[in-house]
Chains A and B, each alone.
Chain A
Amino acid sequence: MNERARLLLELADDELLVGWRDSEWTGIAPTLEEDVAFSSIAQNEIGHARAAYELAARELGTTADELAFDRAPGEYRSSPLVELRLVDWAHTIARRCLYEQADRARIEALMQSGDEVVAGLARKIDREEAYHRMHAELWAERLRGDPRFEQALAELRPYVDGDRRTRTDDFAALHDEMTSVRRTAPGAEW
């Protein structure tokens, strides 16, 4: 696999998984307003994943759905940070903050790409990410110094640059759930 496809898959896998994990809060986020916003941001991330999978799929002679759902766990290139199943808000919002920081650096690098298609996608993503960052920064500012939030940040920080070639323990159940519809109805169009 070439460098371009590898970068697109890393981006797409991260966005799909973080969107999936964050959408687990739909209906149970701390307040109604945050619930709507968090779910909307999660949907945006999955939209970014789709766009990146489509570009990668063209390169690899496959389809976005096949890349998203038909690969074996070992073939994903996600960051361990987005695979983790987090069941409290302090960790969830800490991940959101860490993810947005890391994602910002990546998107800014992709916007400088000599590949105009990739740079164009990165610019489109960045226009939405600006508001995701605003959301994450508000929470980070509000919770700064809060022991639960600071501890969550410290626990999760090492995962940011974790090994993308291996999967965390939480991945298997997530993969099983993510691919269940596709396995139930192979070849179905949505």
Chain B
Amino acid sequence: MIFEVFRQEKRGQPFAHAGSIEAPDVAFAETWAREQYGRRGESEALWLVPRSGVHEVRDFPDEFDLKYRRVDGYSLKRRLKEARERAGTPPARAR
């Protein structure tokens, strides 16, 4: 069986796909995942999901180019600037 491994780096953060593990059952998958994804203190928690449980979805047609359904047109920068001015806080420095 192949298990997809999702890793949470810190408490409260979303789980992100980390890789996969081939194991005869979930118990072996857990033992192997612990050593492979947890031994360096890099994980708060892991999710092991049998690949067969993953339903993949693809192909999202947009034949009529309905631009108004996308978010491209919104200027987040401008709206953030306005919100900061209202709140009276300086913009966060670029990292």
Docked pose: A72 CA to B36 CA in angstroms:
37
A89 contacts the other chain (CB 8 A): no
Contact with A along B15-41 (1 / 0, CB 8 A): 000000111100110111011100100
Docked pose: A78 CA to B28 CA in angstroms:
30
Docked pose: A41 CA to B31 CA in angstroms:
11
Describe B's contact surface by its main secondary structure. helix
Q: Assess whether A31 is in contact with B39, with CB atoms less than 8 Å apart.
A: no
A142 contacts the other chain (CB 8 A): yes
Number of A interface residues in the complex (CB < 8 A): 13
Residues of B within 8 A of A134 (CB): 30-31
A15-58 contacts to B, CB under 8 A, are 31-34, 36-37, 40-41
A102 contacts the other chain (CB 8 A): no
Q: Assess whether A33 is in contact with B27, with CB atoms less than 8 Å apart.
A: no
A104-146 contacts to B, CB under 8 A, are 131, 134-135, 138, 142
Q: Assess whether A36 is in contact with B35, with CB atoms less than 8 Å apart.
A: yes
Residues of B within 8 A of A33 (CB): 21-23, 28, 32, 36
Q: Assess whether A37 is in contact with B35, with CB atoms less than 8 Å apart.
A: yes
Q: Assess whether B32 is in contact with A131, with CB atoms less than 8 Å apart.
A: no
Docked pose: A170 CA to B22 CA in angstroms:
35
Q: Assess whether A138 is in contact with B28, with CB atoms less than 8 Å apart.
A: yes
Which of B24, B28, B32, B36 has its CB near the most chain A CB atoms (within 10 A)? Answer: B32
Q: Assess whether B31 is in contact with A37, with CB atoms less than 8 Å apart.
A: yes
Q: Which 8 A-B pairs have the closest CB atoms?
A: A37-B35, A33-B32, A40-B35, A135-B31, A36-B36, A37-B32, A40-B39, A138-B27
Using A33-B28, A41-B35, A131-B34 as known contacts, list a sample of 6 further A-B pairs with CB atoms less than 8 Å apart, ordered by residue number in A: A31-B22, A33-B32, A34-B32, A40-B39, A138-B27, A138-B28
